[in-house]
Amino acid sequence: MKQIASVFKASLVPRYFFAQKIINVPTMGDSITEGDVKEFSKKIGDYVAQDEVVALVETDKVTIDIRCPDAGVITKIYAQQGAKVEVGKPFYEIDTEGKASAAPKAETKAPAPEVKVEQVKSEAPPQAPKTEAALKPAAPAQAPPAVKAAVAPAARSITPGSRNEKREPMSRMRQRIAQRLKEAQNTYALLTTFQETDMSAVMEAREALQKDFQKKHNVKLGFMSFFVKASVACLKNQPIVNAVIDGNQIIYRDYIDISVAVATPSGLMVPVLRNCETLGFADIERSLLDLANKGKDGKITPDDMAGGTYTISNGGVFGSMMGTPIINPPQSAILGMHAIIQRPVVRNDQIVARPMMYLALTYDHRLLDGREAATFLKSLATQIEDPRRLLLEL
């Protein structure tokens, strides 16, 4: 009888209780403990499939897709858009036994927008266009932003004599970039040396072999692979440039991981090409293409940017003629590439036009003397001017 009673009592426990599941903020990468909710693509009452993106969380390194580990209906959200969330803390709850048909219920629950629309109508005489715009959002909270968006262009238009100002919060990534750049200036003894290089040989080789290279490797031959290969050759000859100061010690690395700046919709990121000393031209171009595509799609992860022993930044793609890049900690040098410009130079006692590029090497003067830095950059420029030296390892 006791067993029957216990079974009967258990049957009285609501099935909903067991179907409820709290989803915590997942691990987002090494050293990342928190982030800001950039966007919540689902709301309470929405059905979410397994592995479907529920929200975007912006960290100080990347913006990460938060996916749902189980299918179900969202019943509670602990953090709204713009809120700070910590790894391991509750993020939202789902009913794992909820069905996809439960989603429309959330939509039928909200006739409230009609009240909002009427309020908007009473404020503005032209009713017909505003009624159509206001009826588009499903949730009541979305109606006011739609109205604001309609009048935003008039508010932002610049008129003569206007002195309006607008404030908006910095993203976590921009805050982190600002912090790291300032830390680099405060910690490193930054010094920049310059050199110019004639791009004629590289451009001729690229033009002559582009079709064959692309046919064999299924990827285009760009300028960056030449600079990566030249940097590897110079870093092998001068390991001190690949080293870094740690307290009262110098750490020498027997591997070369080159960070390459990539422009993404959310800002400039610096993913890493691992073990560049083992990569050929085609390997480098494939890796760069993969990183560029991941950057455009917002899929660069913290692991892609971890580490790095040396950085190459190509400001030339934006037309920069010359600049002084800032070291990417914990590294000791960064190479700045710039625009290729036809300039008059002397060759065989004749003034001729050549495609020239200015190179800049910013280095940690605590570790590198001017002689080492100038020798490194001159050697790199020589490799670029005569790419045959790369093949012969000269």
Beta bridge partner(s), residue 340: 357
User: How many CB atoms neighbour CB 127 within 10 A?
Assistant: 13
CA–chain centroid gap for 45, Å, is 32
| Distance (Å, whole) CA 335 – CA 351 | 29
Q: Are 327 and 363 in contact (CB under 8 A)?
A: yes
Phi, psi of 74 (to 5 degrees): -70, 125
Q: Collect all residues with Cβ–Cβ distance below 8 Å to 218 and sequence separation of at least 6.
A: none
d(CA 271, CA 307): 9
Give me 345's structure tokens. Answer: 């130079």
What is the DSSP code string of 49-93? Answer: -TT-EEEEEE-SS-EEEEE-SS-EEEEEESS-TT-EEETTSEEEE
Element (H, E) at 224: helix 224-237
Query: Nearest Cα to 260, choosing from 331, 347, 365, 199?
Result: 331
Specify the DSSP class assigned to residue 126.
-
Q: Which of 290, 297, 303, 369 is catalytic?
A: 369
Catalytic status, residue 369:
yes
| Active-site residue list | 365, 369
